[in-house]
Every structure is written in structure tokens, then in C-alpha cells.
Structure 1
Amino acid sequence: MDDNTLRQIIADILEGNTEKFEKIMQLYQKPIFLYCYHMLGNYAEAEDSGQEVFLNAFRSLNKYNPAIPFGTWLYKIAYNQCIDVIRKRKLAKYLPFFYQDEKENKHVDLQIEANYFDEYIQQAMSKLSAEERNLLILRCVEDKSYEEISLILNQNNATLRKKYERSAAKFRKHYAQVKGVKPYDIGQGSGFKRTFS
């Protein structure tokens, strides 16, 4: 759906044609559910959170700023919803996701993607903070640009890039620890040979 069509649908909804919100749900329901699922690691919670996201979006549609991409605005609502759920359950475990090395380490990407539900990945992810997991999920799983993430998290690009590098390094370190290998073995072929202290 192009931006003009989406803007028109939003305008129609705000004018009282509320059944058109169904089109927005059809467009974004699956990606929002998957984002919630990756953040929360629980199918039922992800389903409930996805419904809450769309309910909150519908209620707040009159506050939407068209200068921000609609999808980014919706992900910000999803992020806030997931953080609320996490707080309520006191930071329970998250579902793991495959890791994307910023240094174009495709071998590692494919290995981790192939072992998506690997218990080692789950253990490594559980050692990261909620903020670190969220950043990696938005960047790697949801394939969001730093510009989009900065709008979602209200942080500048330079800060996000530094946080991403630190989070990625922590993930590699924890993954190596739970796997029982040296950290630089995780990054073979990437040029990343520094061991972690």
C-alpha cells in the first residue's frame, strides 16, 4: 500500500469511516505480531499485545503525526506495549532470534538462523537486558534502519549504533560462553578476531 492510499485511509477513519481500520490491520497485523512475539517469546502474550497495539493505535489515531512513517509510529506503540508486558512479568525469558553481524558475517547469520530455536541462542539472549534485546530485534529481525529505530526509541543514530555494537558484542560473548567456544570462533570469516575479557 502506498503512502497516499494510507494517508487517505487514515483521513477516512478520522472522519468516522472506522471500518477502514481493518485495512490497516490487514497490512500490519502479521509484522506487529511477529515483533511482539520476538520481544515477548510467548504466542498468547504476543497475540494479546498485538490486539492492544491496534486498539491503542485506533484510539490514538488523531494524534498521529504524518511526518513520521505510519509503520514506525505503530512499532513505537508495539514497543511500549511489550515493555509494559515485560514489566508486568518481571523480565521473563524472550524468544531468541537470529543474529546479524554488522561486519557482514553471513556465515554466522546463516548458522544462527538455521539454529533459530537453539537453546544456546535462548540462553545467550536471556543474558542481555531488555533494551539490548529490543535493539537487536528491531535491527536484525525487523530489519529496521537506524533512522526508524531512533524514532521508535527516541535516541539519536550515533548512540544507537554504539549501543548496537555493544549489544552485538555482548551477544557474541554470551553465545560463546554457553556454547563453550572462544568468542572469536563465533565470528570466523568476519575479520572480528578480538577476544572478550
Structure 2
Amino acid sequence: MVSIEEKLIKRIKKGDRDAFPELVELYKDKIYHVAYRMLGNAQEAEDIAQETFIRVYANLENYDPNYKFSTWIYRIATNLCIDLLRKRKQSVYSLDKTMEGAEGVDWHDRLADPDLGPEDKLLEGEFHGQVQKAIDSLSPKYRSIMILRYLEDLSLNEISEALKLPITTIKTRIHRGREALKKKLNF
């Protein structure tokens, strides 16, 4: 059975100008969320998402239809994030640096939940903040795998294809990433 992505790619290659925006629409939120979770900065996540789609369009001829399109686009996005994280480390001072403690905050998670009381909401918000901070403090090689596995719910095979790493390496990094998070969260 031919996937939606494959149909759109065929249309794009035939010159259909309406097909690429449809492809972007399918993946824009997913790519943004992966980038945001890796970078903890909304503006940088938007920039990475845009750059991802630019690279997809420019390299569509190189896409191998024997692999899932989602794997290919996630690999592009995570590689761009890792590159940006490396650049961040090189420049300690940044004019774009957000306020301390505000990075990685998902404000949608902080909206009032009618089922929770004020104290429960406060505790839950603090916990989400602690988890996001712990994930942000992981090295990029662990952070990308933890995000793809647990937040994006990709299988080990999909992560392996996306990051071009053997499954045994993925399993090891998941284990080590979990252990690092347990230490950081005092579990």
C-alpha cells in the first residue's frame, strides 16, 4: 500500500506545486515539537523546522523510498538540532539566551486543569519543569534518543534508521539516558 507521503513525493517530483505544502502540513508540528524538546527554545525550534523543510525540498531526489519518510525527516531535524547544540556550546554568551528557568517550559502544560486543585497543579508544573530541565541537561546523543523514544514514541528500528545507529547502541543510550535522568531527578 502506498503511503500519503509517497503519493505526495511523486506529485512533487512531477512538478505539482500544491503537493509540498501538503507534505509540510503533515509534518510541521511533529518536527517543531522534536526541535523544541531538543533545544528548549521556541524561536530556534521554528528555525530548525523551517530549515528541515528547506533541506527536504532541496534533497528530495536523494530520498530512498525503501525507508520510511518519517525516519528520513526526523534524521534531518535531529541532526540540525545537534549541530545547533554544538554551536551553542562553542559560544557561551548569546544575545538570544532566554531567562534562566524559562527555557524548556511548555506553557500549554501549565494551563488550568479542572480536575486538579491548586496545590496539585503547582506540584505537577514543578515536576514537568524538573523533567524538562533534566532532559535538557542530557548530552545531545542521549537527549535526541530519549525524545524520539519517549516523547515522539518512535520504535527502536525507527530511531536506528533516523540516527543511523545500530539498535544495540540505541538500547544502550536509552538505558544510560534513563539512568542519567533517574540521578538528576533523584529517583
- TM bracket (short chain): 0.7 to 0.9
Residues 95-174 of structure 1: pairs in structure 2 closer than 5 A:
95=104, 114-115=124-125, 118-174=128-184
Aligned-residue Cα RMSD (Å) equals 2.6
Deviation, structure 1 residue 5: 3.5
Which runs of 5 or more residues in structure 2 are unaligned? 93-99, 107-123
Supply the AA of the counterpart residue of 2:50.
Q
Bigger relative contact order (CA 8 A; separation at least 6): 2
Supply the AA of the counterpart residue of 2:165.
Q
1:160-189 deviation per Cα after TM superposition (whole angstroms, max 9, x unaligned): 11221111011101111xxxxxxxxx3xxx
Stretch deviating more after TM superposition (120-129 or 150-159): 120-129
- Other-structure match for 1:18: 17
TM-aligned CA distance change 1:26 to 1:167, over 3 Å: same
1:108-157 deviation per Cα after TM superposition (whole angstroms, max 9, x unaligned): xxxxxx44764432443344211111111111001010000000111111
- Other-structure match for 1:31: 30
TM-aligned CA distance change 1:27 to 1:86, over 3 Å: same
Rounded Cα–Cα distance in structure 2 between residues aligned with 1:116 and 1:15:
51
Which runs of 5 or more residues in structure 1 are unaligned? 98-113, 177-185, 187-197
Rounded Cα–Cα distance in structure 2 between residues aligned with 1:33 and 1:8:
23
Rounded Cα–Cα distance in structure 2 between residues aligned with 1:172 and 1:119:
15
What TM-score, normalized by structure 2, do the two folds share? 0.77
Q: Does 2:40 match 1:8?
A: no
Rounded Cα–Cα distance in structure 2 between residues aligned with 1:123 and 1:31:
21
- Identity rate, percent: 34
Aligned length: 162
Supply the AA of the counterpart residue of 1:166.
R
Rounded Cα–Cα distance in structure 2 between residues aligned with 1:34 and 1:43:
9
